[in-house]
């Protein structure tokens, strides 16, 4: 069971180290840099990269430990949040106790270790969501979600930081692949076709819709089939999947009792000089202007969480948790993914008609990671 | 010639009065209230309305005089700005020197007087724009428009206040019309069809485009032809005209050397419970994300101003100035009109493809005027 107090499980020295490393200045990396550096994954470069991560990861992880300790409204003391804090502390300790990386062997061991760290943290999002649910139960019902702005801001910083940590670790691990797919540098596809990713994500979203409703509106996708640019396909897939899923649902719900044919969802992929913009438009009836701010909050989400109050937090199996695709943190986290590489996600709605989502992806790739 | 110093033309007592009235608390009115009150334009109600305006207008006008005196970067001393300040001072004096309104005759005289005040201020926008141009010439070229945020905020407040003053005056004057058009309460059309206004504004915009380019893209308008709601048609006409004009221009410029047929501009009118939303979409090539903030600034506008450096500010004739439709303040001022009755204007663009403008109009009409 997660220890309530930090010092019950962890030594005073460790706590001091956490505070020391949590104050150090983080170093951001751009997609362009990751791509150029990773294009030559020589043993020497992998050594340099691992030495960078050996210093950088503890800084980022320590900051999150400190954040987790100082949440408002008693969120820090919720069992699920304490569990997450313990994951971060264990990872911090693993990194700090790893000796200096001097040769290829050290580097391989280090890479294995950070991959395990990544795996340890696989379920952070549903676990934090459970903590937030535990908090909601305790809160006075009259508290408006808007008042909990501090918590929203914390979660934005926390999840953005997590995206960065997992990108750095995942990229480093992937560079060790002896047979990488063509045109790929780790997680980055140097010639990614946004049209193709949008098609795949739409098909996945339509499958889910078909399963839930027995039918799924068509999705029409327009854009240059030959256009490519460097990006991380899994990130884009996640975002498009989320947006199309929301659009399909809205249209299904609107036309469920209607004789009319459900109008298709339309996706437009536009390539400019600065940005690649993907617009996902539906005629699902829209969202009132007053309701729009809520869609990006974490506390608002109403979907059921597979982790509930009665789950034994220590024995959650990965299979259960992996069905969390779409448990409704999708929009705020999609926006974080968009912003991670210098892009953005905007949602505009026409009440009574439908909603348009605009995904802006920076084409230049020279935006430094946000470092909250 | 406009007096540089306030006290050169105006007495100390007047200056003190301005400061006193400029600190009094303004009273906002909603569209719903204006409509209900104005639906019974009895002599008694007109008396009440005039007595309200007799107190309210000097407060609003005095605030603007004080604002105009305290602008940064020496904008307050530009000849064009001094001229505007003098107009506001003359109007303040006219209102303050008008005796208490006791009967129908007083009320008619008052109405004539405030109508003349409105006419006096007809050219405030181009005159202020000239003042801003005069300022731009003097500014260090390295100053970024973003640094001049104080001036943008002043102009937003100033023009918003002007919209309110002119609405109140115009509405009161219009209520004296012995033969009002059916379903109209002053400036407010209680059964305005947004589709119809959009059609008219679109035709006007296409005429301008035709004159400038020799051709004009089609505009397709979709929406319920039977839907009506209470609004001020002239406001909506102004906004739609501006947005369609911009869209037509963008499409013309993009396809001028092309064999392809220019794609139509599409307008969708959606009616919801809270809002009526009008979307104007074009495929005119879009605006880069980095360029979007500028489109709502006043200092950025590059269109030529019929009032230029060499105009004699005292002899500008109304005919010249009235051809100012579209001299480049259109977007920021359209947004003010949208916000005046609780709505908004949002512009999203897809670089390399086109731009979407979303005009949200509050359907409930219970939003109080903004009172900057």
**pLDDT for the residue numbered B151:** 87
pLDDT at B85: 96
Cα–chain center distance at B179: 27
Which residues are CB-contacts of B21 (< 8 A; sequence separation ≥ 6)? B58, B59, B61, B62, B92, B96
Give the residues across from B221 on adjacent strands: B267
Q: Residues A55, A92: contact at Cβ < 8 Å?
A: no
What pLDDT score does A364 carry? Answer: 85
Whole-angstrom Cα distance, residue A278 to residue A231? 14
CA nearest to B268 within chain A: A353
Give the pLDDT score at B319.
40
Instruction: List CB contacts of A241: < 8 A, sequence separation 6 or more.
Output: A201, A204, A205, A325
The pLDDT, as a whole number, for residue A129 is: 87
B341 touches chain A (CB under 8 A): no
B351 lies within 8 A of chain A by CB: yes
What is the distance in angstroms between the Cα of B369 and the nearest Cα belonging to chain A?
A: 18
Question: If you measure CA to CA, which chain B residue comes closest to A342?
Answer: B289
- For A63-77, the three-class secondary structure string (H helix, E strand, C coil) is HHHHHHHCCHHHHHH
- Interatomic CA distance for residues A337 and A160, integer angstroms: 8
Name the minimum distance, in Å, from the CA of A347 to any CA of chain B: 10
B69 and B3 Cβ atoms separated by less than 8 Å: no
Q: Determine whether the interchain pair A360/B289 forms a contact, defined as Cβ–Cβ distance below 8 Å.
A: yes
Q: In terms of Cα–Cα distance, which of A353, A152, A147 is closest to B360?
A: A353
Positions in chain B whose pLDDT score sits under 70: 1-10, 141-147, 299-328
Q: What is the pLDDT of residues B127-184, one digit of tens each?
A: 998 888 888 777 776 666 556 788 889 999 999 999 999 999 999 999 999 999 999 9
Residue ranges of A 265-324 with Cβ closer than 8 A to chain B: 268, 270-275, 277, 279, 286, 288-290
> Which positions in chain B touch A288 (Cβ < 8 Å)?
272-275
Tokens 């904008």 locate to: B75
| Closest by CA position to B198, among listed B160, B243, B131 | B243
> Is A347 within 8 Å of chain B by CB?
no
Tokens of B287: 């605006």
pLDDT < 70 positions in chain A: 1-10, 141-147, 299-328
Instruction: Please classify residue A97 by burial: count the beta carbons closer than 10 Å to its beta carbon, then call 0-12 exposed, 13-18 middle and 19+ buried.
Output: exposed
Q: Which helix (H) or strand (E) holds B106?
A: helix B104-120
Interface predicted TM-score (ipTM) of this complex, two decimals: 0.89
Best residue in A224, A271, A273, A350 to probe B by mutation, most B CBs within 10 Å?
Answer: A350
Q: Which residue of A has its CA nearest to B347?
A: A348
A47 touches chain B (CB under 8 A): no
Q: Look at residues B342, B355, B125 and name the one whose alpha carbon lies nearest to residue B243.
A: B355
- Write the burial class of residue A309 (CB in 10 Å: 0-12 exposed, 13-18 middle, 19+ buried): exposed
Longest CA span, chain A = 70
As separate numbers, helices (DSSP H) first and strands (DSSP E) second, chain B gives 12, 8
pLDDT of residue B4: 55
Residue B322 has what pLDDT? 41
Structure confidence at residue B2 (pLDDT)? 55
């Amino acid at each position: 069971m997660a220890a309530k107090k930090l010092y019950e499980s962890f030594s005073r020295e460790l706590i001091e180290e956490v505070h020391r490393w949590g104050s150090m200045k983080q170093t951001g990396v751009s997609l362009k840099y990751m791509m150029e550096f990773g294009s030559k994954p020589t043993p020497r470069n992998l050594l340099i990269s691992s030495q960078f991560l050996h210093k950088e990861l503890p800084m980022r992880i320590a900051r999150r430990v400190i954040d987790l300790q100082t949440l408002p409204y008693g969120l820090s003391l919720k069992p699920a949040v304490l569990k997450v804090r313990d994951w971060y502390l264990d990872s911090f300790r693993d990194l700090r106790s790893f000796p200096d990386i001097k040769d290829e062997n050290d580097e391989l061991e280090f890479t294995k270790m950070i991959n395990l760290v990544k795996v340890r943290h696989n379920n952070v999002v549903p676990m934090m969501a459970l903590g937030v649910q535990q908090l909601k139960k305790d809160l006075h019902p009259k508290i408006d979600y808007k008042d909990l702005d501090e918590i929203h801001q914390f979660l934005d910083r926390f999840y953005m930081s997590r995206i960065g940590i997992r990108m750095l670790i995942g990229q480093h691990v992937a560079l060790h692949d002896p047979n990488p797919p063509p045109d790929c540098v780790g997680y980055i596809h140097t010639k990614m076709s946004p049209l193709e990713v949008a098609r795949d994500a739409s098909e996945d979203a339509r499958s889910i819709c078909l399963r839930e409703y027995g039918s799924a509106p068509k999705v029409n996708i327009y854009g240059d089939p030959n256009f490519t640019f460097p990006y991380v396909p899994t990130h884009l897939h996640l975002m498009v999947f989320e947006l199309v899923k929301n659009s399909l649902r809205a249209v299904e719900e609107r036309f469920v009792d209607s004789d009319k044919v459900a109008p298709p969802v339309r996706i437009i992929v536009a390539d400019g000089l600065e940005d690649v913009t993907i617009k996902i438009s539906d005629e699902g009836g829209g969202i009132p202007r007053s309701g729009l701010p809520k869609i990006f909050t974490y506390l608002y989400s109403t979907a059921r969480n597979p982790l509930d109050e009665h789950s034994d937090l220590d024995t959650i199996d990965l299979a259960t948790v992996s069905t969390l695709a779409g448990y409704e943190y999708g929009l705020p986290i999609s926006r974080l993914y968009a912003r991670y590489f210098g892009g953005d996600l905007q949602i505009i709605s026409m009440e009574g008609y439908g909603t348009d989502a605009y995904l802006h992806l920076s084409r230049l790739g020279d935006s430094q990671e946000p470092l909250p």
